[in-house]
Chain A
Amino acid sequence: MGWVSLSLLWLAVAAPPDSLPADTLAPRPPRVLEAARFHLQDTPNDAGHSVTLRWTYPPGLQDSVRAVIVLRAEAPDVPMQEVKFIPGAPTVYKDMGIPSRTPFYYRVLFLTVTGDTIQSAVLGPVEAYPQWFHTGRIPILLGVVLYVGLLLWFIVQARGGKELFLRKIPGLEAVDEAIGRATEMGRPILYVPGLSTIDDIATIASLNILSHVTRKAAEYETPIIVPNRNPVVYTVSREIVKEAYTSVGRPDLFDPDQVFYVTDSQFGYAAAVSGIMMRDRPATNFLIGMFWAESLILAETGAATGAIQIAGTDAVTQLPFFIVACDYTLIGEELYAASAYLSREPLLMATLKGQDWMKFILGTALVLGSLLGLFGITWVHHFFAGG
């Protein structure tokens, strides 16, 4: 049989020659492991294209197994095909990519260092079924339900007119001042909405802030320049700027040329925006959204022009660059809080309270999980691990 010759070849190649007895190459009659050691089931929480095979070894066998071969057939009495050769002594195999609702039979062969072949009985039948609910994601669902519930609770509270306290965020407090500075100096404002695509939530948060900044700039009749790297972000930001001018009653001030597409190239974009900073000398630079390696190029060029700079990103690796090169930096969640903070709209502010409470709950769970973990109680860890 093909699998025997393959396994012997593997043993000859993988095992050190001096570690094998002289009779290694002589096939021996296979022993059969009892079916109770094997558990064959439809893989849970998938689209119905895999089954999972688990097994346990008799005492002492696992150390001597050098490889495992999994065979499969669509009937118990037809020759089986090898589907996987696994070096080592695993205890689980997931057979992926099989058709749904089709019965399959399996056999597992264990090749030992001594040249023995131990096999399972024919296992099965088993069929792969698609599932309608991912039970491994129940912890995530519970967390989302709890969090959304908290958000809705505070929104209802805000609708009732309850006053909510928000701590000061220096970067957002400085937005009006930064726009005013540009107005006083008679120079434009540069707004960079990050380099990511529209499906990045940081980009959406940035576009929300762009709306506020543009409305304020329109009130002060200060030009705003919005260079874009992504075509979809360009079309959205253009509409946002246009709508913002209209919403403050100054549609005449909107210049279609102030929101434009630059390039899809990361460093091409960095070069173009650096050029705008050096030539047009904006008095205020907003670098808000998702950034990668170009963050410091933009921030340092802006700092060299003497512009007041407000940056914001949720990219943890880029935050240090913004912190050292910009006047104000919105760190992580502050980026998402900006829209609520700037608008002071009670419904938006209410969600910030929900965020704070959820952070408290998660922090408590982390401390509790860590303390319980010290005493060997790990259910908190397993609950959050999900699936």
Chain B
Amino acid sequence: MAARTIPLAIVFFFGVLMTVQFYIPHPVSQRLYEMVLDWMNGVSAAAIILAVGSLVKHHWRKISRRENVVYSGVTLLAFFFMAFLGLFVSIAEDSLFQTLFANVQVPLQATMFSLLAFYMASAAYRAFRARNLEATLLLLAAFVLMIGIIPIGYLIHPKFADFAQWVLNVPNMAAKRGIMIGVGLGAIATSVKIILGIERNWLGG
């Protein structure tokens, strides 16, 4: 019982407190806000220990079960080696730690990001097959925009770029604002439900 009541009470107290804080510009209120942010940082720091433990255990179990041994082995090896370098050697600009980060981690991330171009092409192919009215409209809007922002659009018609911009600024913006208003209201409603203890799924149901 207490395992549920205490978190709900804490959430109610801080939910109401931080809502009220939003309307108070006084330094006392600002300090309270900064203090709560500091507490959040403290909680995050503690959670990192649990998360790293999870990472190590997860891959260790995989190795024990002879399941994707290479991937898990590389992960653990890289993790412990970088941790060793960072904790016991150096993280200075010319250190091995930074060299590995700049020459392994950064290019790997850039590679994943660049894959997005290919995924976009395959997703566009799937989306632009005019199977129904919505897909046809999507195809037409994309066509107008793509042509509108390249020089050939101007050659087709001098007003093409303006029309493309209008599609972006008017119908597209109207839809985006509609979604954003709904998101704002949904976010407030979710917050109210959690603060009042009506929504308890975050406690596991």
Q: Do A and B come from one complex?
A: yes
Show the binding face of A for B, using Cβ within 8 Å: 45-48, 100, 130-134, 137, 141, 144, 147-148, 151, 155, 199, 201-202, 204-205, 207-209, 211-212, 215, 228, 231-232, 234-236, 238-244, 246-247, 256-257, 259-263, 265-268, 270-271, 275, 279, 293-294, 296-297, 299-301, 303, 314, 316, 319, 321, 323-325, 331-333, 335-337, 339, 343, 347-348, 351-352, 354-355, 358-359, 362
Chain A residues near B105 (CB-CB < 8 A): 265, 268
Q: Is the Cβ of B204 less than 8 Å from the Cβ of A240?
A: yes
The 10 tightest CB contacts between A and B, nearest first, are A243-B204, A336-B186, A333-B182, A231-B51, A267-B112, A324-B127, A261-B51, A333-B186, A231-B47, A211-B201
Q: Is the Cβ of A228 less than 8 Å from the Cβ of B116?
A: no
Chain B residues near A331 (CB-CB < 8 A): 179
Query: How far, in angstroms, from A241 to B54 measured CA to CA in the complex?
Result: 15
Question: In the complex where A207-B202, A243-B203, A359-B185 touch, is A234 in contact with B192 (Cβ < 8 A)?
Answer: no
Query: Which of A134, A199, A235, A268 makes the CB contact (< 8 A) with B50?
Result: A235
Q: Is the Cβ of A314 less than 8 Å from the Cβ of B204?
A: no
For B16-59 the 0/1 string (1 means CB < 8 A from A) is 00010011111100100000000010011001101110110110
Query: Which of B23, B126, B187 makes the CB contact (< 8 A) with A336?
Result: B187
Chain A residues near B120 (CB-CB < 8 A): 296
Chain A residues near B157 (CB-CB < 8 A): none
Query: Which of B40, B192, B199 makes the CB contact (< 8 A) with A339?
Result: B199
Q: Is the Cβ of B204 less than 8 Å from the Cβ of A246?
A: yes
Question: In the complex where A151-B189, A208-B201 touch, is A266 in contact with B119 (Cβ < 8 A)?
Answer: no
Show the binding face of B for A, using Cβ within 8 Å: 19, 22-27, 30, 40, 43-44, 47-48, 50-52, 54-55, 57-58, 61, 68, 71, 105, 108-109, 112-113, 115-116, 119-120, 122-124, 126-127, 176, 179-183, 185-194, 198-199, 201-205
Query: How far, in angstroms, from A48 to B24 measured CA to CA in the complex?
Result: 12
Residue of A nearest to B45 (CB): A231
**Closest approach, in angstroms, between the C-beta of B86 and any C-beta of chain A?**
14
Q: Is the Cβ of B199 less than 8 Å from the Cβ of A348?
A: yes
Chain A residues near B191 (CB-CB < 8 A): 201
Chain A residues near B47 (CB-CB < 8 A): 231-232, 234-235
Residue of A nearest to B194 (CB): A204
CB within 8 Å: A-B pair count = 202
Q: Is the Cβ of A147 less than 8 Å from the Cβ of B57?
A: no
Chain B residues near A47 (CB-CB < 8 A): 25-27, 30
Query: How far, in angstroms, from A199 to B47 measured CA to CA in the complex?
Result: 14
**Closest approach, in angstroms, between the C-beta of B181 and any C-beta of chain A?**
6
**Closest approach, in angstroms, between the C-beta of A133 and any C-beta of chain B?**
6
Residue of B nearest to A358 (CB): B185
Q: Is the Cβ of A137 less than 8 Å from the Cβ of B116?
A: no
Chain B residues near A46 (CB-CB < 8 A): 25
Besides the contacts A134-B25, A336-B187, A339-B199, what 20 more A-B pairs have beta carbons closer than 8 Å? A47-B25, A133-B24, A137-B23, A202-B187, A204-B190, A204-B194, A211-B204, A235-B50, A247-B205, A257-B57, A268-B109, A268-B112, A297-B112, A303-B126, A316-B176, A316-B180, A324-B126, A348-B193, A362-B181, A362-B185
Chain B residues near A256 (CB-CB < 8 A): 57
Q: Is the Cβ of A293 less than 8 Å from the Cβ of B116?
A: yes
Query: Could you name 14 residue pairs across A and B whose Cβ atoms are closer than 8 Å?
Result: A201-B187, A204-B194, A204-B202, A208-B199, A228-B51, A244-B204, A247-B205, A261-B58, A314-B179, A316-B176, A351-B192, A354-B189, A359-B185, A362-B181
**Closest approach, in angstroms, between the C-beta of A179 and any C-beta of chain B?**
15
Query: How far, in angstroms, from A357 to B195 measured CA to CA in the complex?
Result: 21
Chain B residues near A266 (CB-CB < 8 A): 109
Chain B residues near A207 (CB-CB < 8 A): 201-202
